[in-house]
Amino acid sequence: MNLLLMAVAPVMVIIVYIYFQDKYEKEPIGLLLASFLFGAIVSIIIVTILYLFTGRFIPITDEFSVWQQFIQAFVVVALSEEFSKYVIVKYFNQPKKAFNEPYDGIIYAVMVSMGFACTENIMYVLDGGYQTAVLRAFTAVPAHATFGILMGYYMGKAKFSNNRFKLNMFGLFLAVLFHGAYDFFLFISFIPGISIGAFISLAVAIYLSKKAIKKHQEVSSFKTLEDS
């Protein structure tokens, strides 16, 4: 039971933080919960199917091959996982009337990402124990949040733009780029000291995520003169 709580706790902390950054017009709780559940269940199903597909057509046979680990990180893992989240935000959240300001792209993408991260974290923590729970609370879970923020920032812009496809694709690209970089440096840990690259990429993603949140807060159509 304690392990389960430790697996879920960092996810809940991030959700609460992102929710309260939505300063001017909160989203419906039911829609947020549905987004989380879609991420926790539907996204996992999509990823499983994509893993089976990519695993069959892009076999990774050498764990000490930098090139193969690059493909593993960016295509097999990052593209599969971020695409599964993107599909939910694009076809479930973006068309909703409640998606009525750019920040909504961030909060819905994060809810889907945290649903995915919650399921993934529970599996890893129950298998790896307390040490895994603590490590992932400060690395993998925040990383998934930043991937969601960066993707959601551009998907939020896309909803109110004539270049919706381009902006949506760029959001997906950024999420895959940072997710792939984070995983790649961990996957090639057989090179001494290279794992530091994962934490550098995470730090950059956190920095960009904070800027993305602030920018969408500033352009909210629900922001009043008193809030300025």
Q: What confidence tier does 59 reach under pLDDT thresholds 50, 70, 90? A: confident
* Sole residue written with tokens 């490590």: 135
Instruction: Out of 44-58, 116-130, 147-161, pick the least confident.
Output: 44-58
CA distances from 212 to 154, 177, 196 (A): 9, 16, 24
**pLDDT, tens only, 44-57:** 999 999 988 887 78
Residue 14 has pLDDT above 60, yes or no: yes
Q: Cβ distance 144 to 209 under 8 Å? A: no
What is the predicted pLDDT for the residue at 135?
95
Q: What value does the mean pLDDT take over residues 56-66? A: 86
CA distance 118 to 122: 6
The pLDDT tens digits of the residues spanning 186-228 come to: 999 999 999 999 999 999 999 999 999 999 999 888 876 446 5
Polymer length in residues for the chain = 228
